[in-house]
């Protein structure tokens, strides 16, 4: 028996374009992953500093070159008046309304924050927040119209 015969070979075609819903869902899922990494790093007493590639022009020669620059990740959580941590989910500059009139999740501490971020990420991956993402996307897009 050959090695290739042990694999499941199918005729598959890669889609040219993702539907907008899937694209928005993946975008929010990536941002939630960053928040999860930031929360884990802060609970361990470390810093989370992802890098990104920036194109910079050298002032003397005028030649563009790529450099690695740190990417700023702001936490989506804050301390409430009650002393508990509140987590709000953001899509771009907009805060998502998770329930009617409510836009934050209250958690007890850092370990519960990490579990909550994982739960929200799995809900986004399952498509449970698609309506809220769509509403935030439309509100964001309306800001660009004249």
Residue-range domain boundaries for the chain: 19-43+74-142
> By three-state DSSP, how is residue 59 classified?
coil
Nearest residue to 124 (alpha-carbon basis) of 85, 86, 98, 92: 98
Lowest average pLDDT, out of 15-19, 57-61, 93-97, 126-130, goes to: 15-19
Confidence tier at 41 by pLDDT (50, 70, 90): very high
The pLDDT of residue 88 is above 70? yes
Token pair for 90:
């953001």
Report the pLDDT value the prediction gives residue 108, as an integer from 0 to 100.
87
The pLDDT of residue 146 is above 70? no
CA–CA dist 143, 128 (Å, integer): 25
Helices (H), 1-146: 20-43, 110-126, 130-142
CA–CA dist 95, 104 (Å, integer): 9
């Amino acid at each position: 028996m050959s090695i290739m015969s042990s694999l499941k070979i199918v005729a598959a075609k890669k889609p040219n374009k993702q539907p907008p819903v899937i694209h928005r869902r993946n975008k929010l899922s990536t941002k939630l992953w960053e928040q999860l990494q930031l929360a884990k790093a802060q609970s361990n007493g470390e810093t989370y500093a992802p890098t990104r590639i920036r194109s910079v022009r050298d002032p003397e020669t005028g030649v563009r070159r790529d450099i690695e620059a740190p990417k700023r990740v702001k936490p989506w959580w804050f301390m409430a008046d009650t002393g508990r941590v509140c987590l709000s989910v953001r899509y771009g500059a907009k805060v998502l309304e998770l329930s009617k009139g409510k836009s934050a999740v209250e958690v007890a501490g850092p370990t519960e924050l990490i579990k909550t971020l994982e739960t929200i990420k799995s809900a986004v991956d399952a498509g449970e927040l698609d309506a809220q993402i769509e509403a935030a996307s439309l509100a964001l897009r309306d800001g660009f119209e004249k």
